[in-house]
Chains A and B, each alone.
Chain A
Amino acid sequence: MDKDFAARRRRDLIIAAALATIAALTPLFVKDVVVQNILILTLMYAGLSQSWNILSGYCGQISLGHALYFGLGAYTTELLFTKFGVLPWFGMLAGGVVSALIAMGLGYPFFRLRGHYFVIATIVIAEIGLLLFHNWEWAGAAMGITIPIRGDSWLKFQFLRTKLPYFYFALALCCLAWFVTWWLENSKWGFWWRAVKDNPEAAESLGVDVFNSKMGAAAVSAFLVAVGGSFYAQFVSYIDPESVMGFQFSLLMALPAVLGGIGTLWGPVLGAAILIPLTELTRFKFGGSGRGVDLIVYGTLIVLISLALPRGLLSLFSRPKKTGAAR
């Protein structure tokens, strides 16, 4: 039995490495900028959703306010860059740390809340953050920040002529988030998180530090999401409150994990691989008309999948395993 377990973990790692290699090679064949764009976004959201999944999927603390950390990452990086000339790479780290600290600070009062109260509190706090940034003159208020263009440079993580560096960074982010999840899944933290999700009281009785488990999950999750936010800011080179802290980001982080399979290792990747291209394509095809067809398609899909496959798309694949057939 132990051998099965170790084999399964190894298999996951091998599949991930194979997928990453294939992904890394795609730009050789895909030269279309629009498609590359979609690939970058897909990888980014896969990484973000994977990070969201740590707190909400594994630890069971459903957050619909992760846009806050995304935005904080973006703003920290760009404010440091435009106001103090700090390189984005350091800004990225700083954004991650700031977000993780804020997540833990918020955790103190938030983690006492249960169920719907917690969910609404996360929406509300992100909304407060959005409004504050809207009114913060120094940070550009509603006008936002335009990242000054200094030419292509790895140092400043800025590229005008090619999207490839962004592509590889998004891939790296996605791999990092996946690997962190993979690693934590079979650690004390991973077990504690799932125990806390399933039954906090029982977890407590088994020596699990429930509160600190949630804090740990929040910190890791917020850090990774903030790094994603920093990346996004560099990628689009213009940020304003709505475009990095809007509610849609919270939603787009949660959806891939939910559709793919919440609280699973592969769910977010699978969900993002399907959802993000679909979102972009519907927007590309119908969005221009401004008549909401993209929303209709998108919403219908969400309703259908959540009704038909409550455990996510991944449950389609995992069925055979139950009967013992090792594939």
Chain B
Amino acid sequence: MAEIQEYLLSREEFYSALAKRHGEKMQKLLENSEIAVFGLGGLGSHIVNILARSGVGKIYAVDFDTVDISNLHRQLYRISQIGMKKTSAIKEIVREANPFCRLISFDMKFSAEDEDSLNRTAEIISQSDIVCEAFDNAESKAELVNFCLERFPEKAVVCASGMAGEGSANLIETKRKMKNLYLCGDETSEVNENQGMFCSRVSVCASHQAHMIIRLISGETQP
């Protein structure tokens, strides 16, 4: 698979096509950036896809879960990937979108109570330029954001809160909530038994996150 793709498309061809669209300088910045994405669900699968297609050089992708039929309506995975680890499934998707993006996956569950998980998380964050929180659980979101801001106050964190339901997509916004914390979402729409997730709205939020990351890579710090 890899040989065929490289035969069809060289690294130089691929990056020069991207540079034509994004500009040489921006493409260099994207190529040299390393982004950590925690969670590969409705947000993370779309974010990783966007970053890889944009030509980000290295992505650290973290998740413990496997692709389930209940994921297909909003996550990027395919029927043929049901049962596969999300870390492996996203690798397949990225390989076909940008074979030159180095996707390093971590099949692990983030837990603030687990010393080993925190050590591995710290290692991943320390190698990344920007951290992206893309979990679904509210407490895990808070735990990762707190861990990152406490331990790595110089790192920018792009997180998400509030994108469930069929409310207006125009309510999804990117805000700079703290010096190094950017939040995407409407801040209120919570997933629960009365309110599910729609691919359209979750992917709007994922695009907000991915776009803020791209802006940060370009040196722009405002949402």
A associates with B: no
Binding site for B on A (CB under 8 A): none
